[in-house]
Amino acid sequence: MAAKKGETMRAFVALDLDTMGLRRVARVADRLRMGSGAPSATWTAHAAMHVTLKFMGELPVKAAEPVAEGLRTLVEGKVAPPPSALALAAFPNAAKARIVVVELADASGALASLAERVEKLAAKHGVPKEDRVFRPHVTLARLKLAYDARRWLRPELTEGAGTCTAKTITLYRSHLEAEGAKYEVLARYAFASS
C-alpha cells in the first residue's frame, strides 16, 4: 500500500540488548519495583526494554525505507559497541524523578558516536535534530508524580549486575494505544560477530 502524501508515523531507532544484558536490566527493574519506597509507576515490560538512539516523532512514511537502508549501512559488517556497565539514574534528576532508568556507561564513546550517525541520517530525511545531549539508557519506569528517589535508587541495586551489549539496531514504529505504546519492527539489522 502506497503512503499518502504527507502521511507520518511515530518512529524511533533503538539498540536491542543481548539476551543476558536484557535479563540483567530486567533484574534491576524487578529489584527496584519490589524495594521499599517504590512509588506508584508504570513499569516498562521486559520485552520492550531498549536503548533509544533517536526518537523521530512524526517520521514521513515515505522516509521509512531510506532510513532503514541507512541503518543497514551503519551496522552491516560492524561489531557492536563494547559492553556497558549499568547504573541507576533518574530524569530530570533523582531529587525530582519522573523517569527511572538504567544508564549505560559509554567510556569509549561508541554509543554516542552511533547515536550521532543516526541523528545525521534522520536529519537527511527531515527529522529535527535533538537538542539534548545523548545519554544511553533503558527506561525502567515512568512515575505517576515527581518523587525524591535519592534513597530508593540505591547504587547497590546495580552492583554486580554485569554488563550489557547491543545485538541489533532496529527502526520501530510506535502505535499509541489505551494500554500503552506498542512497537512494530520496521527494519532490524544485526551487528557483525566479533
92 prior amide bond cis, ω within 30: yes
* pLDDT surpassing 90 at residue 193: no
Cα 180 from chain centroid (whole Å): 16
- 40, 52, 96, 130: CA torsion to nearest 10: -140
Per-residue pLDDT tens for 100-133? 999 999 999 999 999 999 999 999 988 899 888 9
* pLDDT surpassing 90 at residue 35: no
Cα-based distances in Å from 113 to 34, 42, 43, 163, 168: 35, 31, 29, 19, 16
Amino acid type, 164 = C
Cα-based distances in Å from 124 to 20, 58, 63, 173: 35, 14, 9, 19
The reported pLDDT for the residue numbered 194 is 60
Q: H/E element holding 23? A: helix 19-34
For the chain, the structural domain boundaries read 8-190
- Looking at every residue in the chain, the average pLDDT score rounds to 90
Backbone torsions φ then ψ of 41, nearest 5 degrees: -155, 160
The reported pLDDT for the residue numbered 97 is 96
Classify domain 8-190 by CATH number. 3.90.1140.10
Cα 114 from chain centroid (whole Å): 13
- 127, 55, 120, 108: CA torsion to nearest 10: 170
Cell numbers placing 44: 516498562
Per-residue pLDDT tens for 51-106? 999 999 888 899 999 999 999 999 999 999 999 999 999 999 999 999 999 999 99
Backbone torsions φ then ψ of 38, nearest 5 degrees: -70, 120
